[in-house]
Every structure is written in structure tokens, then in C-alpha cells.
Amino acid sequence: MADLGRAYLDFKKYSKSASLLLLTIRKNERFHYLNLLKSFYKESSLHIYHYTLSALFYLKDFNNFFNISESIHASEYLKRLSLRRVIEISEISVEDCFALLKYKDSIERISSQLNDLISLTSFDFKEKPEFLSQITALSTQMAQAESDFIALDNSLMSNEKYKQLRNPDIATIDEAKKLCGADGVIFEYIIPPHKGEHLNPYILVISAEYTEVIELDKEYPYSEKIESLREEIIKKKTNHKDHSNHSPNTVKRISSELYNILVKPVEEFIEKKQNLIIVPDGPLAFLPFDALRTGENKLKDKSITLTPSVSVSIMTRKREYSTDKQFLGFGGGIYSDKDDNGETKGRYRNREFSPDESKRIAEKYFNNTAEYFREHSFQWNNLSGAKDEVIYIGKEIFKNPGVDIYTGLDVTEKKLKQLSAEGKLLGYSSIHFSCHGYFDPEFSYYSALIFSEVSGRITDSNEDGYLTVEDASVLNIQADIVVLSACNTGMGKFVSGDGITGLTRAFQVAGANSVLVTLWEVDDEATKEFMISMYGKVKDCCSYREAVNITKEEFRGTSKSDPYYWAGFVLYE
């Protein structure tokens, strides 16, 4: 059916093509529920979605175009959020919901591992017999995770509310227009992962007054240019190997080029709008859109926020929390054994590893998180700025009561999970982590926030000190915002139907309405200044969106005007 739909597209029979391709997608979504969790299945079927968009574009069928675009961006993300909604209305137990999330995460992680492992086997298994045994072991784990999920899912299907929310509906264009309000506009980007006939990039523009789809340049090297911009910005880092070659003019040149490709085609739609809601796709999720504000272009003075999808944003905004406390802060953990007060300074809130080490690690298979991190043998520096950051925010901005702060050896993964298990995390409107962050582009499910257990000095904890994506997604949170004041917390791996599978998604699934993350290795002192300024504005009655944007504008007028210091902070709502 999909092949016939593609054939009709070749012959410009757009109506027949769209009908067959839409039917194929609906059938797959109905009968392949578990397969949609698997990265290799998603990737193999993604071209059908893009062919469908091409047919709908020519038909100017914007309602179905929006629906398919939303499915590409975050249909599975939406299902995870919906599970949390089932908990909130007390229809199933917290334990059952977390078990379902755990099984989903396991299926996703194992399928991704299998996909990565199979991609390495371009040689005879006789030469590398360990790969065959690893693939067999992973396949066995996959079968068990699927069996566990199906058994629990079937047992819950008798609950009508669970049955209804298990497959939540994608938002409608009318709901998207309502989300925009009078002063907002949505830019939803579609960037196919591969080039080919009928695999075209688009930008879907939605405001209260209009809906339009604009075709973008299909030959433009989006990934390469975005990575070039990021690399040039990051050269500002004093310990970067090319620090002396950092060129603000090069940053401006690439930023202007990306602006001309991504924003200029839709300038007319933002002329009278103040708030831009951007739904990135593929490599655009790693683009600091604020860095595109150059000269007097149309982004100047605009408020920019990101969302995994319009449907996700609408769902999170429906969550209304009533909390007893204002602020929970974890910061200034002990990562080395040199100083109890965390005074052994490390300037950046992450740890990098060499390409050779990355390659060696990529060719290994790990049974669990502990194995993975033991293989890396990371060493972490203490961060004095992180401790000062949470103490100042808690005591000088929010002030007691309603503030709890953990520093030093109290910054433990054990304590965080204990607060979650006891239901105490539900009491905070703002949760702030000022710590090291870790991101592995090959194994994004091992991305993590780093706690004091890694120092080896916490003797009463069974945790390893690495709060991974899977760990974070099953925390029990009802916060207006979670701030991940650490390096690379906004990074992840793009998976069709699930957006960026990283810490941002994990904390929104856990219950955060918005998440502030970073796109690169942030400077410790600049981060402290940014966070203190932002929270001060929130205390003065700004929204978090307003506070983030005003703080960025202020940085642009200081000695830290380089995008390196401020453009990497991204708010997801």
C-alpha cells in the first residue's frame, strides 16, 4: 500500500497518494504499538511520513499535514506524558505507571543498542563472535521487556480511563491557534534525516490568524552548518584546543546564513508577533536559535521558547500544580576526594572523552548503567560555583521558609530518589540541579546528572551517582520548572515519534511543566550569574519564559556578550 502511495506521488496523483499513505500510517499506529518504541522500526517507516507530507503539501491539506508532522515529532513522547495524567487522576497506581514507563524505556534502549550493534557488524561474525552473543543476549532482553509490558498493559485495559489515555489524540490546528494567543506564532520545522525525491524540508507556520506551509531548501546541509556554528561558538571556551582561533565574525556569518535559510522565508509571519514557539526537528534541536539574532533582523527583541511538539506543549500546560514549597536545590556536590567543601575548582560542568576512547567504548555492549560508567572510569572536578549558585538562589532570592538546599556530600542520587519515593518531590514548584552533566552522542540513554556518589565517599548509598534518562523519567515531580544547570543537558538523540530522547524529555515525563537545559559545555561562573539573574526576575513576577529571555538580552550588553555564555540556555515548555 505504501509503495503504491509513493508511485501515485511520482505521477503527481496527490489525492490518491495521500489517501493510501495516510491509511498505511493509521494501520501501522493501530497494529504496531510496541514496534513504534523501537528505533529501527521508526527509522525504517519514517520515509512514509515524509512522503505523506509531500502529498499533503501539494494538496494544501494543512490539517492532516499538522497531524502527521506532530506524529513525526513526538507521538510516543505524548503517550508517556499521558501515562502521568492517568496517575494524576488516580486511575492506576504510581507503581504500575512507573513499571510501564520502565518497560517502555527498556524496549527503546535495547532496540537502540541492537541498532547500534548491528550497524557495526559489517564483517563476518566468525571474526567477531562476541558480537553474535551480544545480539542474542539483547534480543532475549527485548523479548522479556516486551512480554512484561504486554502483560501489564493487558491487565490495565479494563480501566476505561487508561484505555482512553493510552493513545492520546494529537492536538488539532484550532488548539494550536489557541496556544498562540494574539501575540504568538508557531514555527514547526520538518527536516528529513536523508535526502531524496519527495523528502522535502518544510516549516509549518501557525498563528491565531493563519496557517501556512513553506518549503525550505532541500539541498542545504542543515546538520553540517548547525554543527559548524556550535563548534565555532564553543571555541570561546578557554581550554578548547582551537580557543585562539575563535572568531566572532565567523559566528555571525554562519548565524546569518542559518537565519536566511530557516527564518527569512517566514519573516512576514513574525512582523507583528512577540512570542515565537519553535518546534525543532532533527539537527535543529541542537541549534541555539537565540544566536541567530544578528544585526537588525526580525528575531531582534522576540521571545523564543522551544517545545518537542505542539501537542506536548498543550498537554503540559493543562497540568496545574499546587505546591507547598518554592525551591529545591542540589548543588556543589563532592566529585573528588580532595576537599570536603568542593573547593577544587573545575571551570566547566562536564567531562569530555577523546575520539579514540569514544570508538573503543562504542564497540562494547553493556548490561547496565554501572558497567557503562565503570568502563569510562570518569574523574570529576568539584564545582565551587555550583554550591554558591544554589545557596544564593535559595537563601537570597526565594528565602526561607519553603526552600530546601542540599550541598556537598548531601548531593546524592540516593537522597533525590528517596524524596521522590516519599512523595516529597511533589511539594516543590522549582527544582534546580547545579552539577556536572554527561552526554554521550552514541548512547544518549546514558546521559546523566552527576551526584556525590561518584567520589567514592558515600558509604551508605547503593546508587552509582549517575542519574540517567531512565532514572529521571520515573521520578515523581509536579514542578513548574526543573532547571538542569549542567553541561549538555539539552542534548540527546533524535528518534522519530519521540523527539530528542534525553534528559529534557525525561523530566517532562516525570512531571515538570518546563525544563531549562544547556546545549554545550557551560562556563561555571557565567552559569552562576545567569541563574541568579533569571531567578531574581522570576521573584519579581516575571514568568520563566520572560526571565530567560530578559537575562539573555542583558548578557548581550555585558563583557559576556559572546553567544557562548548565554545562547546555550534553552527553555522547553
What pLDDT score was predicted for residue 354? 47
Tell me the pLDDT band of 359, cut-offs 50, 70 and 90. very low
Q: Write out pLDDT tens, residues 162-183.
A: 777 777 778 999 999 999 999 9
DSSP letter for each residue of 538-566:
HHTT--HHHHHHHHHHHHHTSTT-SHHHH
**Average of per-residue pLDDT across 393-406:** 90
- 3-class DSSP assignment, residue 186: strand
Tell me the pLDDT band of 37, cut-offs 50, 70 and 90. low
> Whole-angstrom Cα distance, residue 246 to residue 380?
26
Percent of the chain exceeding pLDDT 70 equals 83
Cβ-Cβ contacts under 8 Å for 555 (sequence gap 6 or more)? 530, 561, 565, 566
> Whole-angstrom Cα distance, residue 473 to residue 47?
29
**Average of per-residue pLDDT across 445-456:** 89
What pLDDT score was predicted for residue 101? 79
What pLDDT score was predicted for residue 525? 85
Cβ-Cβ contacts under 8 Å for 196 (sequence gap 6 or more)? 47
Tell me the pLDDT band of 239, cut-offs 50, 70 and 90. low
Whether 145 shows a pLDDT value over 80: the answer reads: yes
> Whole-angstrom Cα distance, residue 542 to residue 536?
9
CA-to-CA separations, 153 to 34, 41, 147, in angstroms, rounded: 11, 21, 10
Helix (H) or strand (E) holding 17: helix 14-31
DSSP letter for each residue of 463-517:
S-SEEEHHHHHTS----SEEEEESTTTT-EEEETTTEEEEHHHHHHHHT-SEEEE
What pLDDT score was predicted for residue 41? 52
Q: Return the number of other C-beta atoms located less than 10 Å from residue 102's C-beta.
A: 16
> Whole-angstrom Cα distance, residue 12 to residue 449?
50
Tell me the pLDDT band of 133, cut-offs 50, 70 and 90. confident
More confident site: 433 or 339: 433
Whether 419 shows a pLDDT value over 80: the answer reads: yes
Question: What secondary structure letter does DSSP report for 237?
Answer: S
| Cβ proximity of 173 and 265 under 8 Å | no
Report the mean per-residue pLDDT for the chain. 84
Tell me the pLDDT band of 353, cut-offs 50, 70 and 90. very low
What pLDDT score was predicted for residue 35? 58
Percent of the chain exceeding pLDDT 90 equals 47
What pLDDT score was predicted for residue 447? 83
More confident site: 479 or 399: 479
More confident site: 42 or 571: 571
What pLDDT score was predicted for residue 381? 86
Whether 434 shows a pLDDT value over 70: the answer reads: yes
Q: Write out pLDDT tens, residues 494-525.
A: 444 444 557 888 899 889 999 999 888 878 78
- 3-class DSSP assignment, residue 354: coil
Q: Which residues pair with 330 in a beta bridge?
A: 406, 433
DSSP letter for each residue of 50-81:
HHHHHHHHHHT-HHHHHHHHHHHHHHHHHHHH
| Full set of structural domains in the chain with CATH | 1-169 (no CATH), 173-315 (3.30.420), 321-572 (3.40.50)
Cβ-Cβ contacts under 8 Å for 392 (sequence gap 6 or more)? 528, 532
Whether 367 shows a pLDDT value over 70: the answer reads: no
Tell me the pLDDT band of 13, cut-offs 50, 70 and 90. very high
Tell me the pLDDT band of 363, cut-offs 50, 70 and 90. very low
Whether 208 shows a pLDDT value over 90: the answer reads: yes
- Written as one letter, the residue type at 459 is T
**Average of per-residue pLDDT across 543-554:** 94
Worst-scoring range by mean pLDDT, 210-224, 246-260, 267-281, 335-349? Answer: 335-349
| Cβ proximity of 334 and 461 under 8 Å | no
> Whole-angstrom Cα distance, residue 58 to residue 52?
10
